[in-house]
Amino acid sequence: MVVRDDILTRKGARKESEIPKEVFMLLNQGKIESVNLTEWLAINHISLLKNVLPSIGLEDKLEFILSEIAKHDAESGMKAIRVIGALLDDVMIGESDRKKEDIIMKCSNHVSDSVRCWAAFMNKNPNDSLEDKLSYIRPFAADHHFGVREIAWMSVREDLSHDIEKSAELLVEWAKSDDENIRRFSVESIRPRGVWTKHIEILKQEPYKALPILTLLKSDPSKYVQDSVGNWLNDASKTQPEWVTNLCEEWEKDSDTKATGRIIKKAKRTIMKDS
């Protein structure tokens, strides 16, 4: 199917009610990507499942998955993605490794960003090492779509939080990547407070455990990464303001760059408001 250029190059509606019918239909058919958060949140994952599963060889699992989703009342947004990813894993129990790999590959490379989000919550093997889990999620962390990148860190955040020392050790290598999306993941995935996620209590009290990662990125050229580092430190400032203040003062002396200045401004916004 060829999608018109005016649809592919659209800016996206500001409200769900303003999404053109044709665009909404194509989103729910899995024929196009969402272009902003409004579209991403509006997608009906029930409709998307009905259109996608038959095309990837899981038509016989559709009825079961839909009945399970109904129990969770999850038709859209983050909850739907998390539930569907888990259900897709469940229905492949007992299938051959080849079929599992084929289904995961089809979802991971699907044109729909929402289907790729499902894939980021698939392949959940409790016996996998943290290295294995990060290896699996890396392509999603580097995805060109903002929604897939957000889901990527959300899908492994709990695993990372269970062993912060090991996680920080592994994520230091991600912070050295040439890809700004990968560098950003190294910070965003372990923000002390985060967005739409549980807090990581140990980092709220002991933020220095992530210092090797933060130090590598203190003058990162990417605003995408700068925002994440600044937000990380702002999170930490709500419980450890003195530590954040001292770190910012140290960075100001050691790294007199526009990038570091921008990070520090974001990092201290709660401290400045409370002072």
Least confident of 75-79, 112-116, 169-173: 75-79
Least confident of 4-8, 71-75, 196-200: 71-75
3-state secondary structure of 126: coil
Percent of the chain with pLDDT over 90: 88
Distance CA 152, CA 148 (A): 6
Instruction: Report the candidate in 117, 51, 124 with the shortest Cα–Cα distance to residue 86.
Output: 124
Distance CA 273, CA 266 (A): 12
Distance from chain centroid for Cα 66: 24
- Mean pLDDT estimate for the chain: 95
Average pLDDT over residues 18-35: 97
Distance CA 84, CA 52 (A): 12
Q: Tokens for 200?
A: 């990581």
Q: How confident is the model at residue 191 (pLDDT cuts 50, 70, 90)?
A: very high
Q: How confident is the model at residue 165 (pLDDT cuts 50, 70, 90)?
A: very high
Q: What is the dihedral of CA 264, 268, 273, 275, to 10 degrees?
A: -110
Inform me whether the pLDDT recorded for 273 exceeds 90: no
Domains parsed from the chain with CATH numbers = 1-124 (no CATH), 163-275 (1.25.40.290)
**DSSP one-letter code for 211:** H
pLDDT of residue 94: 85
Distance CA 274, CA 270 (A): 6
Segment 10-19, tens digit of pLDDT: 999 999 999 9
Pinpoint the alpha helices (H) of the chain.
5-8, 21-29, 37-42, 45-52, 62-72, 77-91, 97-108, 113-120, 130-141, 146-162, 164-175, 180-188, 201-205, 211-216, 223-237, 241-254, 258-267, 269-274
Give the residue, 195 or 26, on which the prediction is more confident.
26
Average pLDDT over residues 50-67: 95
Q: What is the pTM of this model?
A: 0.93
Inform me whether the pLDDT recorded for 29 exceeds 90: yes
Please count the residues of the chain. Answer: 275
Inform me whether the pLDDT recorded for 164 exceeds 90: yes
Angle in degrees, CA 171, 149, 7, rounded to 5: 160
Instruction: Report the candidate in 246, 249, 274 with the shortest Cα–Cα distance to residue 260.
Output: 249
Q: Within 10 Å of residue 97's Cβ, how many Cβ atoms?
A: 8
Segment 214-259, tens digit of pLDDT: 999 999 999 999 999 999 999 999 999 999 999 999 999 998 899 9
Inform me whether the pLDDT recorded for 210 exceeds 90: yes
Q: For residues 172-184, b (16+ Cβ closer than 10 Å) or e, as one string?
A: eebbebeebbbbb
pLDDT of residue 72: 83
Percent of the chain with pLDDT over 70: 100
Average pLDDT over residues 154-180: 97
Distance from chain centroid for Cα 44: 19
Q: How confident is the model at residue 275 (pLDDT cuts 50, 70, 90)?
A: low
pLDDT of residue 109: 97
Q: What DSSP string describes 241-252?
A: HHHHHHHHHHHH
Segment 78-98, tens digit of pLDDT: 899 999 999 999 999 888 999
Inform me whether the pLDDT recorded for 6 exceeds 70: yes
Distances from the Cα of 228 to the Cαs of 116, 180, 185, 232, in angstroms? Answer: 23, 11, 9, 6
